[in-house]
């Protein structure tokens, strides 16, 4: 039994090394300036009377506000969207839409597809689509991008179109058109443009196939967090929301991605953090 345990320790260490250094080799060898810009869009707001939903045991009954962020990446060889924001129908509800038994309220001014149109981009023209995970505040307008090639971890795909979807609070209506489109199922990191400039990296735990995105901008690399961390204090203290699919997997992903950030010097963009997002240029401006 002791030998079995030790063997699994070795396997876990090897897996950690592969997880960190396989994508690391790609991102460190990336072609400079092949990404032209990264444009951030505010794709809704989220309010809750209890911040401890995301930080168990801390800030109980403290009111909390977050944003839902979406991203357009312009690469010399095409365009890519990362996350699609809160569903369009929420914009028709001035008082918002209550979810999670009234613990969370979603608000939306303009749906992401409309924001893109106003930015001069047709959703139908997007070449590549990746979604950090299939919760509705991230996949809410996914069907608008059914022409794009969709990159999804196989575990997330299975959950999204299987019996687990309801348990995970996925909303099939927001992404059902992607199933019969151009789907690339992943079980590892993926170099979208083949030059190390835009790399999808698995970071499971929040959901079965949660993933994050590394983007090499001319000004330096950034890491889009998905829901690996929702806001700064959770990142600094390594807190895991109580509703995550797998706490241990989340912790492992946090350690691995934090190591990748340290090694590459990437700036972590916390997609839900209102305070950080207030300091970042949004459309029509872009990060370069």
Tell me the per-residue pLDDT of 3-46, one tens digit each, with 9 for 90 and over.
Answer: 333 443 443 444 445 555 555 565 555 556 699 999 999 999 99
User: In the CATH hierarchy, which top-level class contains the domain 32-277?
Assistant: alpha beta
Tell me the per-residue pLDDT of 49-68, one tens digit each, with 9 for 90 and over.
Answer: 999 999 999 999 999 999 99
DSSP one-letter string for 57-97: TSSTT--EEEEEEEEEEEETTEEEEE---S-GGGGG-TT-E
Q: Domain spans of the chain?
A: 32-277
- Residues of the chain with pLDDT > 90, as a percent, come to 88
**Residue 2 above 70 pLDDT?**
no
pLDDT of residue 222: 98
pLDDT of residue 44: 98
Tell me the per-residue pLDDT of 152-181, one tens digit each, with 9 for 90 and over.
Answer: 999 999 999 999 999 999 999 999 999 999
- What DSSP state is assigned to residue 7? H
The token pair that represents 139 in the structure block: 């996949």
pLDDT of residue 101: 86
Q: Looking at the whole model, is its pTM more than 0.75? A: yes
């Amino acid at each position: 039994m002791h030998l079995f345990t030790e063997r699994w320790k070795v396997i876990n260490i090897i897996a950690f090394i592969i997880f960190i250094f396989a994508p690391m080799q790609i991102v460190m060898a990336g072609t400079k300036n092949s990404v032209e810009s990264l444009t951030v869009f505010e794709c809704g707001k989220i309010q809750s009377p209890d911040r401890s939903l995301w930080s168990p045991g801390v800030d109980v009954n403290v009111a909390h506000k977050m944003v839902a962020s979406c991203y357009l990446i312009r690469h010399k060889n095409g365009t890519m969207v990362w996350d699609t924001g809160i569903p369009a129908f929420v914009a028709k509800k001035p008082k918002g839409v209550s979810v999670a038994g009234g613990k969370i309220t979603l608000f939306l001014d303009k749906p992401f597809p409309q924001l893109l149109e106003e930015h001069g981009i047709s959703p139908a023209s997007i070449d590549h689509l990746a979604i950090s995970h299939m919760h509705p505040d991230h996949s809410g307008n996914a069907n608008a991008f059914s022409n794009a090639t969709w990159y999804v971890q196989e575990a997330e795909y299975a959950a999204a179109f299987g019996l687990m979807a309801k348990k995970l609070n996925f909303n099939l209506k927001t992404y059902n058109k992607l199933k019969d489109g151009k789907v690339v199922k992943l079980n590892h990191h993926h170099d979208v443009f083949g030059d190390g400039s835009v790399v999808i990296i698995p970071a499971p735990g929040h959901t079965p196939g949660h993933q994050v995105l590394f983007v090499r901008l001319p000004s330096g690399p950034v890491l889009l967090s998905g829901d690996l961390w929702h806001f700064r204090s959770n990142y600094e203290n390594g807190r895991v929301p109580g509703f995550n699919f797998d706490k241990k997997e989340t912790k492992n992903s946090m350690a691995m991605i934090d190591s990748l950030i340290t090694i590459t010097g990437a700036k972590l963009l916390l997609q839900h953090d209102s305070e950080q997002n207030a300091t970042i240029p949004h459309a029509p401006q872009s990060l370069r």
